[in-house]
Amino acid sequence: MSSVSDEEPLLAVEGLEKHYPVTSGLLQRQTGTIRAVDGIDFTVREGETVGLIGESGCGKSTAASTVLRLEEPTGGTVRYRGEDVTAYDDSRLRRFRREAQVVFQNPADAFDPRMTVGESVAEPLRVQGFDRRDDRVAVVTDLLERVGLSADVADRYPHALSGGQKQRAALARALSVNPDLLIADEPVSALDVSVKAEMLALLRELQADLDLGVLLISHDMGVVREVCDRTVVMYAGEAVERGPTESTFTDPAHPYTAALVDAVPTVDTTTRRSGGHLDGEVPDPANPPDGCRFHPRCPAVVQPEALDADQAVFRAVVDLRLALADGDLDRAAASELAAAPDGGSNPSEGVSDPSDGVSDPSDGESNPSDGVSDPTADVSDPSEVDDEAITAAVRAEFDIPREMGNETLELAVAETLDALAADELDRARDRLARVTDSPCLDQVPETTTVTAETATQRAVDCHHHVADQPGSRDEVDVVRTTTPRESADD
């Protein structure tokens, strides 16, 4: 990794937005908005590599194309060497694209199959006004050799190259106009492990030689940790954590970052995992959730100040609240749950087996339980399910035990399930909303600067780090499923 100065950044992105209209009907009227990128901030300095990470669909690639104005931003500013890129006319934009180049994810799609590799690598030179063919050939030959390819590759067509060779050629093409900024969008995701290592080593070498500023987009945490000086974590179109890579990985401040770190396989026997994982998917950018966009999946949702319940139990109750609020759960849906095979049975609830102490009907003796309704028995017709079976099925579905170690929460859940069974949805929603009143569900978190154990500072968008927020990090640590490794650098 490079040493980075405190001078003006090469690239400064502030409040960047890229929204797409959703239209419908014969007149194609706008009926919604896809918020692919929704107000992200980051900087890239000369000689620095910044990683942009997150799950597929979080907006990473859209952010990159918008920075280069391959797509026009909806809002925010992109400054290159202090100049507003969004205000460039066509002439200045062309010059900017000479200084800022991109390497795309799939090398197979990055080349015109009708052009030789040499012609493709030389294409940016031709577009930028390098008219003398001999000069272009000399530059192409030098670039191919610099990225580890022989000069005769220039006469081949893309289909004759391996994936690694194509990606090297793509890198040569990006470097052909001597850029200061390189945006690499998943540059090694389609490569084998050994080829990936070679490409990363080449990227580091070229960056050091050319003093490039690099924006590396990846979902591979190992790649980002190996080559990036700083990291920006994206979720659902927003940047939720920004800071030095090492402290971000060893002491993540946002629960989503912690989940990403915990998902990385490790052979370190000193690392203890509890088997935690994230359920669900990145939310629909056309209909993002209110409040913190991570709250439908977050294992560390902030609790009301006076509640102090088990965090896993509180998460399960929040899931129940969201299902009720979204209309995914009503009496009919709960009845179907109870009528399904094993509906309503939940061994974790500590409910005794109704067959205990009852003789087997096959031994010829009468069964004392004959004619007695069993709320946990399989029922084929949802309309015949009773209230007790419904509440048992919902508890099982959401993994909510009867005994939660918190009387307030136990009472609220019991009253909510009674209201659900009575088909009084408004009462059920209101009762559970009052006891799970969390800022995560309806308040957008502010950006807060936090200091890691290594004294490095990071910007985090999370209610756990708001100083006057109940359940802030001073009181409740971010939930992690992995115990951080001890490092000699810490």
pLDDT, tens digit, for every residue of 52-87? 999 988 999 999 999 999 999 999 999 999 999 999
Q: Is the pLDDT of residue 366 over 60?
A: no
Question: Residue 373 has what pLDDT?
Answer: 46
Long-range contacts of 123-132 (CB under 8 A, 24+ apart): 123/173, 124/98, 124/173, 124/174, 124/176, 124/177, 125/176, 125/177, 128/94, 128/98, 128/177
In whole angstroms, give the CA distance from residue 487 to residue 381: 59
The listed range with the strongest mean pLDDT (43-47, 173-177, 191-195, 334-338) is 43-47
Residue 268 contacts residue 485 (beta carbons within 8 Å): yes
* pLDDT reading at 246 higher than 80: yes
Average pLDDT over residues 374-384: 58
The pLDDT value given to residue 160: 92
Percent of the chain with pLDDT over 90: 57
Give the whole-angstrom CA distance, residue 158 versus residue 141. 16
Token readout for 179 is 């850029």
Distance of CA 32 to the CA centre of its chain: 23
416-423: average pLDDT: 94
- What mean pLDDT do residues 400-426 have? 94
Please give the pLDDT value at position 7. Answer: 73
- Confidence at residue 352, expressed as pLDDT on a 0 to 100 scale: 40
Pick the CATH number of 11-235 from 3.90.1150.10, 3.40.50.300, 3.90.1170.50, 2.60.40.10: 3.40.50.300
Model confidence band, residue 277 (pLDDT cutoffs 50, 70, 90): low
Q: Is the CB of residue 33 less than 8 Å from the CB of residue 6?
A: no
β-strand pairing of 49-53 with 213-218: parallel
Where in the chain are the domains? 11-235, 311-349+374-437
pTM: 0.82
* CA angle (244, 249, 255) in 5-degree steps: 110
Q: What is the pLDDT of residue 189?
A: 79
Query: Position 298: which residue type?
Result: C
221 is written with which tokens? 């945490």
Burial class from Cβ neighbours inside 10 Å (0-12, 13-18, 19+) for residue 38 reads: buried
User: CA–CA separation, 166 vs 192, rounded Å?
Assistant: 13
Alpha-carbon gap, residue 86 to 273, rounded angstroms = 46
Sheet holding 100-103, edge to edge: 100-103, 181-185, 213-218, 49-53, 230-235, 238-244, 457-461, 447-451
State residue 454's pLDDT score. 61
Using CA atoms, how far residue 220 sits from 109, 238, 242, 294, 463, in Å, is 21, 18, 17, 20, 27
pLDDT above 80 (res 5) = no
Q: What is the chain's mean pLDDT, rounded?
A: 84
User: For residue 13, what pLDDT is reported?
Assistant: 97
Q: What is the mean pLDDT of residues 25-48?
A: 93
Instruction: Give the other-Cβ count within 10 Å of 303's Cβ.
Output: 25
Least confident of 3-17, 102-116, 416-430: 3-17
Question: For the residues 225-250, what does the mean pLDDT come to?
Answer: 94
- Residues 169 and 474: their CA atoms lie apart, in Å, by 50
Q: How far is CA 82 from the centre of its chain?
A: 30
Residue 182 predicted with pLDDT over 90: yes
Instruction: Name which residue leads in pLDDT, 318 or 490.
Output: 318
Give the residue among 459, 446, 447, 452 at the shortest CA–CA distance from 487.
452
Average pLDDT over residues 402-427: 94
State what percent of residues in the chain have pLDDT above 70: 82
Per-residue pLDDT, averaged over 98-104, amounts to 91
The answer on pLDDT for 303 being more than 80 is: yes
Where is pLDDT greater, at 490 or 264? 264
Kindly give, in sequence order, each residue whose CB lies less than 8 Å from that of residue 229, ignoring residues fewer than 6 positions away.
1, 2, 4, 48, 49, 50, 244, 245
- Looking only at Cα atoms, what is the longest distance across the chain? 101
Cα 15 from Cα 8, distance rounded (Å): 18
Evaluate if residue 263 carries a pLDDT over 50: yes
| Range list of H helices, 436-490 | 439-442
Please compute, for residue 93, the number of CA atoms within 13 A of its CA located in the half-sphere on the CB side: 14
Which among 74, 12, 81 is positioned nearest to 39, based on CA atoms? 74
DSSP 130-148: ---HHHHHHHHHHHHHHTT
Residue 26 is predicted with a pLDDT of 87
Q: What is the pLDDT of residue 44?
A: 96
CA within 13 Å, CB half, 478:
27
Distance (Å, rounded) from C-alpha 162 to C-alpha 195? Answer: 10
308-363 confidence digits (pLDDT tens): 899 999 999 999 999 999 999 999 999 999 888 765 444 344 434 444 444 444 44
- Which of 120-124, 225-229, 453-457 shows the lowest mean pLDDT across its residues? 453-457
SS3 314: helix
- The pLDDT of 116-123, averaged and rounded, is 92
